[in-house]
Chain A
Amino acid sequence: MDIRSQVSMVFHLDKCIGCHTCSIACKNVWTDRKGAEYMWWNNVETKPGTGYPAKWENQEEYRGGWEKKGKGIELKGAGRYRGLKNIFHNPSLPVLDDYYEPWTYRYEDLFNAPEGEDQPTARTISLVTGEPMEVNAGPNWDDDLSGSPEYARKDPNLDVLNETQREAMFQVERLMMFYLPRICNHCLNPSCVASCPSGAIYKRGEDGVVLINQDKCRAWRMCVTACPYKKTYYNWNTGKSEKCVLCYPRLETGQAPACMHSCVGRIRYLGVTLYDADLIQEVASCDEEDIINKQREMILDPFDPKVIEAARANGIHDSVIESAQRSPVYKFVKQWKMALPLHAEYRTLPMLFYVPPLLPVMGSLTGDTYQHAMEQFFLGVEEMRVPIKYLASLFSVGNEGVIRDVLKKMMAIRFYRRAVSAKDFSMDEAYKMLKEVALDEESANAIYRLTSIAPFDERFVIPPMHREEAIELLRATETTKGDAGFGHREAPERI
């Protein structure tokens, strides 16, 4: 057992309202710089939709992630030999058109325009060329199903559905959408790290945050190809690649990452999990249908004395273990089995988990009345507008049973809480439903609390980072004793 700690996340899609506050918070903190304007370390996509960059899930196009070769796995679009072959021209890179050309407005036009018949307008200016441009794409161009035939119908996940199912999805009675906020997954088996020819990308030992060393990056852009989630971006101004840093400077000072802190719907949870690093290879290369379960098994019980002992032996601080015991991620992923990784078939073992959304039920036409609500507001999972198969393609490598279990659990808790607080549902029925999904009352209440009314400290259980210990591994800190205080930052220039 090689126990390590990983700061991981849960996004509760049932609560996401698609407001993009997270994206803006991230943009303002991190990517509001020249060359980084097109980057959205955090973005929110409408599903079904093509996402950002367009059709990022189509790995035949972008060749990201790992693929199974014999007993092991290989990078799909990079790696030792393929990387060497393509090192001077990486042929699967997304181009700016696949993202979008970033723009701003020439606001001074509003003040300087000569007097005329019309209102002055601020001209659109490209942030790449500085020239006026026509805007015809953006990072959330297909937001809220806008341009549905153009975008929603080209969602790569629809490939798993047959023609009838696909058509049914776009009938007005079944039309549905949900939001998918995405950041770097800080994977346990990151393909970006594996692909980098310069060795510039690394996974931080103490918290598992994946970072790109800006001094070592040599702009090969293999990581851009290799990341199946397209969450590393190339900065054309600095000539280095960049990615989500999980706001590590904020984490180190006990604050939640900017995107999570600002989340209006409070859909985001962050906490440390303990996992067994010895299992990474085995889990990453197991059969597709086992990935979801095996990845869950990798995450260890922080209350188990054996785990605690092994964690201590591996240098994990008691305070981190204690933090892992309170981790909302542990609860959602392992204890309640409600949160699932996004596209686990890429085999990177992503450590950002999603609670799938409970979507509206099918509408029906009775006489002249079109109605959503049937005899009960919430109906069976099968009556949901979204085909389970579609959700399974996103969150459970095609396993519909896993999705059904989660949705049923959520449904049961809703009915139970409705019976408790609104009292318009029979308690006996509610108990029966809980029993069906193997939840006791205590767990149901705990899930309800964490889902709906959990305060900041329960949603973000940030472990102490112990940078003071981590830095001592790299530097002799005592040599800089006395260096702080007043003085010259640079030696004065003498002639």
Chain B
Amino acid sequence: MKRTRKFMLCLMIMSFLVSLQVKAAFNASQTFDKKCSSCHSIGGGVVKGPDLKGVSDRRSEEWLVRFIQSADSMIQSGDPEAVKLYNEYDQKDMPDQRLSDSEVKAILEFIAGGGEQVDVGEFKSATKASPEDILKGRSLFLGEVSFAKGGPACLSCHSVGNYGFLGGGTLAKNLTHIYSDYNDKGLSVALSKLAFPVMEEVYADKSLTDDENFQIKAFLYSVDKEGVEPFNFQKKFVFLGVGGVVVLLGVIDLVWRKRRKKSVRNTHGGIR
């Protein structure tokens, strides 16, 4: 509940920002390429999510619009078909898309028309990455080295493995197993587009270079392979807080050790 609320707030802020921008003419092909193609193909088989060829025949248009706009809330509300799909595809979340009804319909038309396959090109597989690539990717991820175009470091929002102070960022998804979640190519496409609701705005004109894309992927591959689960700091924070207070009180006691601890005259009038 809390997360959804936070997310909704984020969404509202983002949609406000978006509404400020001059609306370009809607291009279904480009939008599909940008927002959908990381996970879906049209007649190209299952990528991460299902093949969308003939999707309009399988589901009603109304259902599709609702699902695309917010798959999460449909699953939460217990729509049987949505839940079935969710389970079928290894319970992978589909990000909510900020698209109006008419825009979704335009994309559905584009899919129904067979779509023009945009060639995403070939990507070097992470399995071929050298240890140096992995190290560079690690530095980029942790923000030790800045991205060429100035995008913020991944760790600001994401956590991965046991990297980063107190388990890394907690604003967004944990990326330890993102490499297995997406396949190699899917991850490259996702990294090149970064078409997730918040990231889309943040990296609008700060996309990753091809090298950075590969290095990050290589790093995520190595993390996935190591399979070190992130340490859950959430519960630890309580103990850290209590411990911190004790330490702080100790320091205060030490710094002000010469303070007056007793009055000279006690409450019964006696003199010390």
Binding site for B on A (CB under 8 A): 50, 53-55, 58, 61-62, 85-86, 89, 91-95, 97-98, 100, 136-137, 141, 150-151, 154
Given contacts A97-B263, A97-B266, contact A154 B258 (CB under 8 A): no
Given contacts A91-B259, A92-B259, contact A97 B271 (CB under 8 A): no
CA distance A97 to B270 in the complex (A): 10
Number of chain B residues close to chain A: CB under 8 A = 15
Residues of B contacting A95 with CB < 8 Å?
260, 263
Q: B265's contact among A54, A85, A92, by CB below 8 Å, is which?
A: A54
Q: A93's contact among B256, B260, B271, by CB below 8 Å, is which?
A: B260
Residues of A contacting B241 with CB < 8 Å?
none
- Is B267 an interface position by the 8 A CB rule? yes
Q: A92's contact among B260, B267, B270, by CB below 8 Å, is which?
A: B260
- Is B269 an interface position by the 8 A CB rule? yes
CA distance A50 to B265 in the complex (A): 10
Q: Is the CB of A91 within 8 A of B256?
A: yes
Residues of B contacting A141 with CB < 8 Å?
269
CA distance A92 to B266 in the complex (A): 16
Q: Is the CB of A97 within 8 A of B260?
A: no
Given contacts A61-B264, A98-B264, contact A136 B259 (CB under 8 A): no
Residues of B contacting A89 with CB < 8 Å?
256
Q: Is the CB of A54 within 8 A of B264?
A: yes
Q: A50's contact among B259, B263, B267, B271, by CB below 8 Å, is which?
A: B271
Q: B269's contact among A53, A58, A85, A136, by CB below 8 Å, is which?
A: A136
Q: A136's contact among B258, B268, B272, by CB below 8 Å, is which?
A: B268
CA distance A54 to B268 in the complex (A): 13
Q: Is the CB of A150 within 8 A of B264?
A: no
CA distance A150 to B270 in the complex (A): 7
Residues of B contacting A97 with CB < 8 Å?
263-267
A225 (CB) vs chain B CBs: closest residue: B260
| New contact pairs (15) apart from A55-B271, A95-B263, CB-CB < 8 Å | A50-B264, A54-B265, A55-B272, A89-B256, A91-B258, A91-B260, A92-B260, A94-B263, A95-B260, A97-B265, A97-B267, A98-B263, A136-B267, A137-B269, A150-B270
Binding site for A on B (CB under 8 A): 255-256, 258-260, 263-272
Residues of B contacting A94 with CB < 8 Å?
263-264
Interface centre among A86, A137, A150, A151 (most CB of B within 10 A): A137
Question: Could you pull out 19 A-B pairs where Cβ atoms are within 8 angstroms?
Answer: A50-B264, A53-B265, A54-B265, A55-B264, A55-B272, A89-B256, A91-B256, A92-B260, A95-B260, A97-B264, A97-B266, A97-B267, A98-B264, A98-B265, A100-B265, A137-B269, A150-B270, A150-B271, A151-B271
Q: Is the CB of B265 within 8 A of A137?
A: yes
Q: Is the CB of A154 within 8 A of B260?
A: no
Q: B271's contact among A54, A62, A92, by CB below 8 Å, is which?
A: A54
Q: How far is the CB of A75 from chain B (nearest CB, A)?
A: 15
A55 (CB) vs chain B CBs: closest residue: B264
B265 (CB) vs chain A CBs: closest residue: A54
CA distance A150 to B265 in the complex (A): 11
